Structure 1
């Protein structure tokens, strides 16, 4: 100590090994209004760039980080949040609150699920199936004729007279399909509209695609499994058993089952659609579909497509020549112009049929004059 220094103003030795910081170099600490208002230290907002002190944040009765937690209380001594019910299980507190807070969302999810499961029933109730009016000659499968109409005998035996019906100058329109194929369903819907316009000059028929296999359940292998084979047989039996039925009957049945084609060959649906076309499934179709006659119908029908080299559903032929193919959700002209000459759509198909008609010009329907 220098001579003359005041001993009463000597600084106290530091409590630790580090030297004491002079008071003039220490940083002044701003007042923490959070502690004054009994707010946790972490709840105080940082200092404002202009205001000299932090702005306090009013504490909530619940922890802001746990919106579904139980009411919380603050401990002034430690400035921490203490749960009011620490012994309660977290799941028991969270799940009921979620149900209450999201009741509307859960209700909408349940309603949407029910609508999806009952979509077909609701559609049938809201928009009943409308019978289409189709006319034209009826034909049987080659090699199964009887009385010139390709009939199947009443006793269920197959005839062998062959098909010799005179079809005149009508245009031969054929679809090669699979009963559970989405492309076939779309294609058949399009040609329902086509036939409405040119039914008077059209000889319409439907054939099924498959591969003969003696080891298969129905003697044929179908792309979508045995259910599709049985669906094909049901449609063939309604078409040809015991005698060939006109398009107004068999094609309406197909269009009816197509409303829920994923359920094919559902018996309730088959019975309902048969009733709509004026038939009883159990007496008019089941004896054929459940026996050897139906299997033989399918085996002979798939031979028609195999003989013409058809393997894609849906394939459209006019007078046994390729007109268009729909596959993978698109018409052939969208992928391969050579597979759909003349374009696709109702108007394009109507035009092709009108051009292929070789009969009297006066017999053409009015639709031919507008294309």
Structure 2
């Protein structure tokens, strides 16, 4: 395994296209990128090696804000049904950062004053969701159905208490966190994480795939996340991928609807 890895890395050095402006660690994250950087054969060799062992799940990282219409659409219409379809397969892992296009200013007290794109209510929603993440141990499978419940509601902030309580979480603790310095500090950390993105985020939802953002990956994630997952997973494709990799368009849409 190590010899094969070294072999692939050596090929990457030999065949790297000088015009490729993508970091070498991302060359084999998709066929399109491998072709662009002139390392398709080398990456194909590596994918073959990976498929013989236990491949890593495809990592999806979502940077969003609570009242953003585009974020809510992606969460409810694409990310949630995809997660429902593939959560038992092990080919996907995900995380969320509630902050988005907010801005912050530190007060003399040391606390942070936040200004959110869709007004003060969005800041409240972001704070609740940051506290929710903490009090569910940052376990995606635990907090994501609750965030889906909120974002799929007509008013995510008004729905928060019921969504959290119905999921068996302690609303009083999370609400208290959102209203005091604990939530303030958690949202500041999400802000620092968002501001540290490379490349810098320009809009939300902002999606990273295996730690990388490109306009191509963003477009594929927003329009056909199941297919992207199946294409990028380096191991043996689960049965669930069959519907999405060579689908009839109507059947694919029905498949996602069935898992909402």
In the alignment, the residues of structure 2 paired with residue 281 and residue 341 of structure 1 have an alpha-carbon distance, to the nearest angstrom, of: 36
* Residue number among 260, 263, 273 corresponding to 2:163 in the alignment: 273
What's 2:104 paired with? 212
Q: Is the 8 A contact 2:60 2:207 kept in 1?
A: yes
- Classify 1:264/1:288 alpha carbon distance in 2 versus 1 (closer, same or farther; 3 Å): same
Cα deviation digits, residues 94-130 of structure 1 (max 9, x gap): xxxxxxxxxxxxxxxxxxxxxxxxxxxxxxxxxxxxx
Cα deviation digits, residues 330-369 of structure 1 (max 9, x gap): xxxxxxxx57454743xx21121223223x42xx422223
Segments of 5+ residues of structure 1 without an aligned counterpart are: 1-167, 325-337
1:305 aligns with 2:181: no
* Residue number among 71, 78, 82 corresponding to 1:194 in the alignment: 82
* Residue number among 120, 132, 145 corresponding to 1:226 in the alignment: 120
Structure showing the higher helix proportion among its residues: 2
Query: Larger relative contact order (C-alpha < 8 A, sep ≥ 6)?
Result: 2
1:239 aligns with 2:133: yes
TM-score by length of 2: 0.62
1:351 aligns with 2:244: no
Aligned positions, number: 181
Q: Is the 8 A contact 1:228 1:264 kept in 2?
A: no
What's 1:73 paired with? none
What's 2:7 paired with? none
Q: Is the 8 A contact 1:219 1:299 kept in 2?
A: no
Q: Is the 8 A contact 1:350 1:367 kept in 2?
A: no
In the alignment, the residues of structure 2 paired with residue 256 and residue 186 of structure 1 have an alpha-carbon distance, to the nearest angstrom, of: 13
What's 1:319 paired with? 210
Cα deviation digits, residues 204-234 of structure 1 (max 9, x gap): 1111212232149853321112221121111
TM-score by length of 1: 0.44
1:297 match: secondary structure: helix
In the alignment, the residues of structure 2 paired with residue 339 and residue 350 of structure 1 have an alpha-carbon distance, to the nearest angstrom, of: 12
- Classify 1:350/1:259 alpha carbon distance in 2 versus 1 (closer, same or farther; 3 Å): closer
- Classify 1:344/1:313 alpha carbon distance in 2 versus 1 (closer, same or farther; 3 Å): closer
In the alignment, the residues of structure 1 paired with residue 92 and residue 56 of structure 2 have an alpha-carbon distance, to the nearest angstrom, of: 9
2:153 match: secondary structure: helix
1:223 match: secondary structure: coil
What's 2:238 paired with? 365
Q: Is the 8 A contact 2:58 2:92 kept in 1?
A: yes
1:105-124 equivalent positions in 2, closer than 5 A: none
Shift of 1:249: 2.6
1:45-56 equivalent positions in 2, closer than 5 A: none
1:316 match: secondary structure: strand
1:292 aligns with 2:181: yes
- Answer with 1 or 2: which has the greater Rg: 1
- Classify 1:272/1:340 alpha carbon distance in 2 versus 1 (closer, same or farther; 3 Å): closer
- Classify 1:186/1:323 alpha carbon distance in 2 versus 1 (closer, same or farther; 3 Å): farther
In the alignment, the residues of structure 2 paired with residue 193 and residue 274 of structure 1 have an alpha-carbon distance, to the nearest angstrom, of: 20
